[in-house]
Structure 1
Amino acid sequence: MESQTLSPTMVPPSVRKSTFLAVIWAGTAIGTLGLAFRLFVRVKYLHRLQFDDFLVSFAWMLLLGTALLWTVIINNFYEIANFLSGKAYLTATFPHSLEQYLHGSLAAWLMFYLVLWTIKINFLLFFRKLGDKVTNYYKIYWWAVLIFTLAAGIVCVGTIQYDCLAVTFEQSTASQGTCAGPKDIKFQDFALKFPAALDIITDALIISMPISMLWRVRMTIKRKLQLGGIFCLVILTIVVAIVRIAIVSSAAGSNANKQVEVTSHFIWHHIEASVAVLVACLASFRTLFAAKERERDAEQREQRERAGRPAGPKARVLWARAKYIQDSLFSTTPTVNGTTKLDSHTSDGMDYPLRSVNGNKSYDTEHTLNGQDQSLTTVPSHRGA
């Protein structure tokens, strides 16, 4: 094949090959450390993995798969990008490189959306368990957000230019003019901004659920701040999405043909996906905090029991019997009004009494923070009790 150059139909790469791979693998390494931390905390303190752990692990596998994909096709990717931007000569490997470039770009697009939406579903399931027993309005809102999020994901996947990417060399050669025309460049701008807007909106809807519920429940300010901080980690993905769209759009706007530069575009894709996985893993800090609180409360209970325990052997036996009778009475006993009073235990192993004041329900949401679904109980308050 004769060596020749092409009139530029693509913006020249703005990121060097070595830098591209370094950023890709750095993001993957951060996600890997986050997943290792999450799994360690879950196994150490919960002694098992739950469904949301497998969801996050699946997202990490997609992230790792994307990094491996770019490592395999990086030479083909830059060969085509340089040739189509008029900076390199046509070589004998062009047909193979072009197919690798197109199919690799398509796979990277798909895995990017799969990572983001897997993490979104993970948070939705987490927040569903968190407020499952709160109000029917919360359930309705949760289902509405879930349906909108799934629909948004389908729309985002539908904006990919399959007619330009899912083709062979011969098909691409025949349609090369149409995929680089003004209408196609305009659609590329739409396919960049509209999915980003859906990404941001869905994240905002997801985070609105626990934040709106958090300040209506009876809980100490310290715990509210802890949970609020964990919930607001989702804001990091929103910030990265805004930065991504701002940088890529700004770079495209500075080009003569308003075309998106592919290397920076895919780098920011991977950065956002890595941050999404990391944020999902950092949410496990709540499990760690809860375990520490459980250990501290257990020590305090033991100290109180030791302080109030009689010294003599006979007195200790009588004290133990009295304690047993007391525990038996309050574990599950019918009340005067026929309402069964149950001890409320959270998945953290700590007791949080649930009371009803003047007929208003007060809920404890921490019962599901580690993924266990415990029933919320409303106990009538009696005067003089």
Structure 2
Amino acid sequence: ISFPRFIATLWTFSALASCFIIFRLYVRLLTYRRLFLDDALVVAAWITTVATAVMWQVEGPVLYHYSPVFGGQVLPTLEFLDAYLHLQGYMVAWLVLFYSGLWLVKLSFLSFFYTLGGKMRTHRIWWWVVFGFTVAWWFVCIGIIDYRCLINDTSYIMTHCGSTGHIHKDNQIIYISCAGDILTDLLILSVPIFLLWETQLPQRQKLVLLCFFLITVVIMAIALVRVILGVDYSQTMDISWFYFWSSMEMGAAVMVACAASFRQLYITSRNRHLFGR
């Protein structure tokens, strides 16, 4: 994918996420006259999305210029090594922001789902299990980043980071982080489904709520596409393609987290119409 198309898509998703955030905050303030922890977490995730967009706007041209070297089609030059030393900090920061943004959205969902269960003991126990696993996997994803080949001197990078074994290791890290991303999404989704199963709501209302919860499948689908299309186990990953889908996943996650605000606004407007408030 070309850099102009990449940066245009990145800013489009960032702009859409910004609109969704503004709408979410408007609905929350309109409905409750205050904001909650889940709102703060989504806003923090949105900040990471915008921050990564700014980073790519500044450093993206350099990365794209040397993408053939990253892909193994061209041998590295001294000029590339100097540029890579400059890029190292940005790449590490982007990876940390990427995982943090995704996990802040997950924690936002969990924060919201915590309040739904009231004092149901089984719900609270399962919520804490999912919360602990989700936070633990966040640290795993950040901890398994290959820092040695991202922040190191050129001699180490040239000696150790281009071998076939290291390529396999890097791709394994991507597979593991993607699996954890999807698994935590499924576990988080199980919290409201478990709650709906236990409550005595009308069937139609249960189906409506379930459909809203299942919107998170969009995030899982993008995560799968990011790995399936961007990573070949036997080859160095296409960095531009991988970062392209990763950025889309970040923006989509923020928008999905705000999607429930549309239904909330509808209910609020309907109640005001019915009761004259």
TM-score, length basis structure 2: 0.92
> Paired residue for 1:287, among 261, 264, 269?
264
SS of 2:199's equivalent in the other structure is coil
Deviations 1:42-99 (A, max 9, x none): 122322222211111110000000000011111221233234545598475x454212
Total equivalences in the alignment: 276
What is aligned with 1:310? none
The structure having more radius of gyration, on CA atoms, is 1
What is aligned with 1:230? 212
What is aligned with 1:163? 148
Amino acid at match of 2:139: I
> Paired residue for 2:121, among 136, 153, 163?
136
What is aligned with 1:105? 91
Give the whole-Å Cα distance in 2 for the aligned partners of 1:55 and 1:162.
Answer: 27
What is aligned with 2:246? 269
What is aligned with 2:57? 71
Q: 1:288 to 1:181 in 2, by over 3 A?
A: same
> Paired residue for 1:46, among 32, 50, 61?
32
CA contact (8 A) 1:73 1:100 kept: no
Q: 1:246 to 1:95 in 2, by over 3 A?
A: closer
> Paired residue for 1:127, among 107, 113, 124?
113
What is aligned with 2:166? 184
Amino acid at match of 1:137: T
> Paired residue for 2:100, among 102, 114, 118?
114
Amino acid at match of 1:130: L
Give the whole-Å Cα distance in 2 for the aligned partners of 1:89 and 1:146.
Answer: 44
Q: Does 1:211 align with 2:188?
A: no
Amino acid at match of 1:60: W
Give the whole-Å Cα distance in 1 for the aligned partners of 2:124 and 2:31.
Answer: 29
CA contact (8 A) 1:112 1:269 kept: yes
CA contact (8 A) 1:77 1:100 kept: no
Q: Runs of 5+ in structure 2 lacking a partner?
A: none
What is aligned with 2:228? 246
Give the whole-Å Cα distance in 2 for the aligned partners of 1:222 and 1:293.
Answer: 18
Identity of aligned residues (%): 30
What is aligned with 1:298? 275
What is aligned with 1:319? none
CA contact (8 A) 1:124 1:206 kept: yes
> Paired residue for 2:4, among 12, 18, 40?
18
Deviations 1:167-189 (A, max 9, x none): 3xxx1233322011122111111
Give the whole-Å Cα distance in 2 for the aligned partners of 1:285 and 1:241.
Answer: 25
* Residues 321-336 of structure 1: pairs in structure 2 closer than 5 A: none
CA contact (8 A) 1:227 1:286 kept: no
SS of 2:198's equivalent in the other structure is coil
Q: 1:265 to 1:34 in 2, by over 3 A?
A: same
What is aligned with 2:138? 153
Q: Runs of 5+ in structure 1 lacking a partner?
A: 1-14, 300-348, 350-385
Q: Which has the higher helix share?
A: 2
